[in-house]
Structure 1
Amino acid sequence: MGQEIINEVKPRPEWLPYELYPFNNRYIEIDGNLIHYVDEGKGPVILFSHAPVAWSFMFRDFIQELKRDFRCIALDYPGFGLSKPHMNYAPGLRNQARILESFMEELKLTDVYLLGHDTGGPSGFAVARKHPDWFKGLILTDTIGFPVSEYPKISKMLGFLKSGIFQWLNTKLNFLIWATYNFGITTRKLSSREKKCYFNVFDTPAKRKRITDLLINLKEDEAFMIDVKSGFESVLRNHPVLLIYGEKDPVNELGIPERFQGLLNNTSLYLVSREKHFPHEGAALEMSIVIRNWIKEIQGASKEHRESGIKQA
């Protein structure tokens, strides 16, 4: 069993200003991994699952905005953000799903709205497939729920990440973080302090390699992604799903949100104007408002359904 520790594990890093990230740093041990997370606000739970080039810091503005109405929880997967991996932990979708499942069990989280971005999506969707009753709804942000082999453009791009030249470029120069936070956000520029909060958590070649290892795993673990797809085709088909994608995200341009809409029975789609794959930094307030309104609509529909049932009885 994990044991929660608040703040005492180690002091806040000097490069992480309280003004940008004004949360208590919480930690829990899961399978020998020291998992960092934030847990702010009260109400229905929104659980944030991050991408490989990110950590819970990406959701800071969401949490600040949504904690007035919701309990917002964002963890860092082992080896990312402020979490410390066990020496035998290997980055991968299956391992992230196991960590997330155990994390939810330890915190006794139920009736959750899961927000998954990029690889954080499939990691969370696998847990939802296994425990559909734990989740009230899913929020898909610039992510995929189908085998990568069905999308040759994505498959080719992920295959290139395995090449020696790209591995050198990323591990030596922190290329993916540099490119993402200098050019991946369209509608605003990050401050130097904000960029530091991304660069400094990927400050060694080993940490940078975890990014590419996780992205390559998205391509190579075909069986895992087939299982994720089957979850949407079966036990998750009637779950409320909110799709929020950057209008210019290549994932959107490939028609993935529309494919989800054709597969699922209860979806809403919102495109963030001008943004690409990382609208979370460019349009956090806009996305938060969409999320708040969507959850309140679901809650209103549930209440109306219960009241209707009582009257009929």
Structure 2
Amino acid sequence: MDETYRRWLNRVEYPFALREFDSGEGWMNYIDEGEGHAVVFVHGCMTWSFLFRRTVEALSATYRCIVPDHLGFGLSEKPQTAGYLPEDHVRRFEKFMASLGLDEVTLVVHDFGAPIALKWAAENPDQVRNIVILNSYLWDMQENPLAAKLALNYGHPLNQFYYRHIRATPSFVLPPLFADRYRVARPILRQYLHPFETHRDRIGLFSTVEGYRRDGDWFNAVGETVASLSDKRTLIIWGLKDPLHTEESLARMQQLFPEAQTVTFADTGRLLPEEKPEALTGELTWFLMNSELPGMSLVDQLGG
């Protein structure tokens, strides 16, 4: 584990036992709280397990909540010689899941975590009961104008140097992902940013953004495999003020999962677990408890 966390980690906000998994390429931090049916949360770019802390605190009273930090993110190690391609993350996630020995889990996937976890799910369908998708993608992001612009910018050698070596860079990228950046307390924002403080810390982040330009065929291939998951109960929850994963992205995700329930929040950006933790927890609880009502979300039951 990256031991520098002792300098900055807020143990009131993140009170969980710190657990480690040896991926063979570096130690990965993960949360494992509660008992019962296992709910595995898989974070995306610019975030780590801290994103799901409120949901874990609430759900772990009834369910077993597991949240790994990808290698190169959060409290996990950030080895400079490890692979950070999407397939490298999938390989490590597969080893992590195998180490837990779980059956019929619920996956809650977010952003870059979706192609990682759902690639594993398509290859291990018997181990998956439910799927919950938060603002994510399963296709070539170069088709998205903003993502293509980001990839082009970060493809320039000068910008690559700037992103990797200028400490302030993540603080420019993260706030716009919130619907209202000014509603996020500065100490909370710092908790998101601390794991990426040095240029060596940002190797995983940089590789993810670079992947918008490099790994489109791989993401498209994952999108084609999710048809094998059509029999899984699926819930899509989307913040509509996401500058990257827009309403067009939501419509595309609904095409991939035509039987999914959908819940949207008009006043929320990409980081919905931070912006609306109580609403997310309510939707997840309702979804997990009411398998006999596959067409009704909590919002539906409450009349919108």
Report deviation, 1:46. Answer: 1.2
Partner of 1:245: 238
- Give, as a single letter, the amino acid of the residue that structure 1 aligns with 2:68: L
SS at 1:23's partner residue?
A: coil
Between the aligned residues of both structures, percent identity stands at: 22
Partner of 2:186: 192
- Whether 2:43 is the aligned partner of 1:50: answer yes
- In structure 2, C-alpha distance between the alignment counterparts of 1:170 and 1:149, rounded to whole Å: 20
Partner of 2:276: 283
- In structure 2, C-alpha distance between the alignment counterparts of 1:219 and 1:45, rounded to whole Å: 35
- Whether 2:107 is the aligned partner of 1:114: answer yes
Per-residue CA deviation, residues 183-238 of structure 1 (Å, 9 max, x unaligned), is 432356333332232222111112224212112224412332122111123x1122
Kept after mapping to 2: 8 A contact 1:82/1:201: yes
Partner of 1:306: none
Kept after mapping to 2: 8 A contact 1:53/1:176: no
Kept after mapping to 2: 8 A contact 1:126/1:227: no
- Whether 2:74 is the aligned partner of 1:81: answer yes
- In structure 2, C-alpha distance between the alignment counterparts of 1:182 and 1:217, rounded to whole Å: 21
Count of residues in Structure 1 that have an aligned counterpart in Structure 2: 293
- Are the structure 2 counterparts of residues 268 and 206 from structure 1 closer, same or farther at C-alpha, using a change threshold of 3 Å? same
- Whether 2:24 is the aligned partner of 1:34: answer no
Q: Which has the larger radius of gyration?
A: 1
Partner of 1:224: 218
Once superposed, which parts of structure 1, at least 4 consecutive aligned residues long, lie more than 6 Å away?
none
- In structure 2, C-alpha distance between the alignment counterparts of 1:114 and 1:86, rounded to whole Å: 27
Partner of 1:201: 195
- In structure 2, C-alpha distance between the alignment counterparts of 1:251 and 1:11, rounded to whole Å: 31
SS at 1:217's partner residue?
A: helix
- Are the structure 2 counterparts of residues 218 and 71 from structure 1 closer, same or farther at C-alpha, using a change threshold of 3 Å? farther
Partner of 2:286: 293
Alignment match of 2:166 (pick from 168, 173, 188): 173
- In structure 1, C-alpha distance between the alignment counterparts of 2:245 and 2:262, rounded to whole Å: 11
SS at 1:48's partner residue?
A: strand
Per-residue CA deviation, residues 105-125 of structure 1 (Å, 9 max, x unaligned), is 001122111111111111111
- Cα-Cα RMSD: 2.4
- In structure 1, C-alpha distance between the alignment counterparts of 2:140 and 2:175, rounded to whole Å: 29
Kept after mapping to 2: 8 A contact 1:122/1:145: yes
SS at 2:172's partner residue?
A: helix
TM-score, normalised via structure 1 length: 0.85
Q: Which has the higher contact order (CA 8 A, sep 6+)?
A: 2
- Are the structure 2 counterparts of residues 159 and 125 from structure 1 closer, same or farther at C-alpha, using a change threshold of 3 Å? farther
- Are the structure 2 counterparts of residues 214 and 251 from structure 1 closer, same or farther at C-alpha, using a change threshold of 3 Å? closer
- In structure 2, C-alpha distance between the alignment counterparts of 1:165 and 1:272, rounded to whole Å: 38
- In structure 2, C-alpha distance between the alignment counterparts of 1:246 and 1:222, rounded to whole Å: 24
TM-score, normalised via structure 2 length: 0.87
- In structure 2, C-alpha distance between the alignment counterparts of 1:254 and 1:265, rounded to whole Å: 16
Partner of 2:86: 93
Report deviation, 1:145. Answer: 1.1
Q: Which runs of 5+ in 2 are unaligned?
A: 295-304
Partner of 2:302: none
